[in-house]
């Protein structure tokens, strides 16, 4: 079913030259929903064609159709599970053939999974599942795009979508924090190893972004959302377009000497208090916190 939040913008005020990403192909995992959907839309509004990946085939195909129709560019749905390397490679191969055997120039690793769970209730399988999607999935897709495209085409750009959860050890998020810490480490390792092959690799860490599944899962719809707001120096939640605009900068030639960094786009929230324990107890009254 189409989720109402994943619609294209009625109007978009370009922050950059409109043809900034002209003739590029961007692959966005998680591009069928939420932040990834808006990143894909804003990239396409700057002139590139796109491939989006996710597991829910119908949602992905509907998203690709909406993105193509709103931007006039081509968006290919490439359904797959980023944890399965052979499935990812064959989805990529098929998508590239639909694009006339062009190469991917920009990869955004946005696919992720999350839920609230206290560490003393979390099973090894739950921990592993989130690590597998976020960290192993980012590695699998990076390797696949590197092998199939970047290594044959003089390089490219990788943008890993991360989170600030682990900076202060946020409660109920041991699995997601550990996964995103691994993602940020992967950013640095690949930036070093692949730099002289023309590959730039960076992370982008959103803060709480309204109107997303991640925000809802972390209590954005609960009465505690006001408490979260009070911890944000810029005094508002982020929007998906805030993240997309920062992403355009990081993948564009404007950032051609930027590699191995994590750009935090959170209104300054990571510098203030972490989620208070009292807040966490209200979000999960069944936990022993
Ligand atoms: C405790 C849970 C759980 C829950 C799943 N598990 N849900 N544990 N509380 N609510 C554990 C169980 O151990 C379960 O094993 C294991 O995870 C695997 O669950 P499955 O449902 O079989 O996995 P899967 O189908 O692969 O789904 C993955 C998922 C799901 C992560 C659990 O939620 C998903 O697909 N999410 C994608 C969308 C999403 O989460 N978007 C938000 C991203 S936001 P058992 O033994 O029970 O089967 C984000 C925000 C970061 O990342 C930071 C924000 C500031
Ligand atoms: P979202 O809409 O649920 O995005 C997650 C996407 O990942 C979905 O499109 C999902 O599609 C895809 N995905 C999940 N597991 C996958 C798998 N195994 N294989 C392929 N695709 C998979 O949530 P969001 O809130 O917009 O989050 C987007 C990104 O921003 C994530 O990396 C998240 O960690 C990060 N982030 C979000 C926030 C926030 O406030 N929302 C804050 C910090 C960081 P399918 O279900 O179809 O597979």
Where would I find the H helices in the chain?
34-45, 57-71, 85-98, 124-131, 137-148, 174-194, 213-217, 225-230, 240-251, 277-283
CA of 82 to the centre of ligand 1 (A): 14
Closest ligand 1 atom to Cα of 217: 42
Residue with the smallest CA separation from ligand 2 atom 16 is 111
Which helix (H) or strand (E) segment holds residue 132: the answer is none
Determine what percent of the chain is predicted with pLDDT higher than 70. Answer: 99
Phi then psi for residue 195, to 5 deg, are -60, -45
Any atom of ligand 2 within 6 Å of the Cβ of 33: yes
Assigned domain for 168 exists: yes
Assigned domain for 143 exists: yes
Q: How many domains does the chain have?
A: 1
What residues form DSSP beta bridges with 158?
107, 201
Cβ contact 156:111 at 8 Å: no
Cβ contact 53:78 at 8 Å: yes
| Proximal ligand: closest to the CA of 77 | 2
CA of 178 to the centre of ligand 1 (A): 14
What residues form DSSP beta bridges with 206?
265
Residue with the smallest CA separation from ligand 1 atom 2 is 126
Assigned domain for 31 exists: yes
CA of 40 to the centre of ligand 2 (A): 13
CA of 196 to the centre of ligand 2 (A): 31
Q: How many helices (H) and strands (E) does the chain have?
A: 10, 7
pLDDT recorded at residue 2? 41
Assigned domain for 133 exists: yes
Top mutation candidate among 214, 229, 236 for ligand 2, by most atoms within 8 Å of CB: 214
pLDDT recorded at residue 155? 98
Work out the mean pLDDT of the chain and round it to a whole number: 95
Cβ contact 7:66 at 8 Å: yes
Residues with CB under 6 A from ligand 1: 112-115, 117, 123, 125-126, 129-130, 163, 165, 176, 208, 213-214, 217-218
Q: 210-244: per-residue pLDDT in tens?
A: 999 999 999 999 888 998 899 999 999 999 999 99
Question: The domain spanning residue 120 has which CATH number?
Answer: 3.40.50.720
CA of 111 to the centre of ligand 2 (A): 4
Assigned domain for 265 exists: yes
Q: 139-182: per-residue pLDDT in tens?
A: 999 999 999 999 999 999 999 999 999 999 999 999 999 999 99
Top mutation candidate among 7, 31, 41, 54 for ligand 2, by most atoms within 8 Å of CB: 54
Assigned domain for 11 exists: no
Domain that holds residue 203: 17-283
Assigned domain for 94 exists: yes
Measured between alpha carbons, how far is 135 from 133 in angstroms, rounded to an integer? Answer: 6
Assigned domain for 12 exists: no
CA distance to 131, 153, 203, per residue, from 160 (Å): 14, 20, 5
pLDDT recorded at residue 4? 64
Q: Which two tokens stand for residue 42?
A: 């804003």
């Amino acid at each position: 079913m189409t989720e109402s939040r994943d619609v294209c913008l009625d109007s978009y005020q370009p922050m950059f030259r409109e043809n900034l990403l002209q003739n590029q192909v961007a692959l966005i995992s998680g591009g069928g929903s939420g932040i990834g959907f808006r990143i894909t839309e804003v990239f396409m509004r700057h002139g590139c064609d796109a491939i989006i990946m996710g597991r829910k085939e119908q949602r992905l195909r509907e998203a690709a159709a909406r993105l193509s129709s709103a931007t006039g560019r081509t968006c290919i749905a490439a359904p797959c599970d980023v944890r399965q390397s052979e499935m990812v490679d064959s989805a990529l191969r098929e998508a590239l053939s639909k694009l006339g055997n062009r190469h991917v120039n920009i990869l955004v690793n946005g696919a992720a999974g999350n839920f609230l769970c206290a560490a003393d209730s979390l099973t090894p399988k739950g921990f592993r599942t989130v690590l597998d999607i976020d960290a192993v999935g980012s590695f699998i897709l990076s390797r696949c795009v590197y092998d199939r495209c970047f290594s044959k085409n003089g390089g490219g750009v990788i943008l890993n979508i991360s989170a600030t959860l682990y900076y202060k050890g946020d409660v109920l998020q041991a699995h997601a924090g550990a996964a995103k810490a691994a993602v940020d480490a992967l950013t640095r390792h690949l930036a070093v190893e692949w730099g002289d092959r023309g590959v730039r690799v960076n992370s982008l860490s959103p803060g709480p972004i309204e109107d997303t599944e991640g925000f809802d899962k972390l209590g954005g719809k609960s009465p505690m959302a006001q408490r979260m707001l009070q911890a944000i120096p810029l005094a508002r939640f982020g929007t998906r377009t805030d993240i997309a605009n920062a992403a355009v900068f990081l993948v564009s030639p404007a950032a051609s000497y930027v590699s191995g960094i994590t750009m935090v786009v959170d209104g300054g929230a990571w510098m203030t208090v972490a989620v208070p324990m009292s807040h966490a107890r209200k979000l999960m009254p069944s936990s022993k916190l």
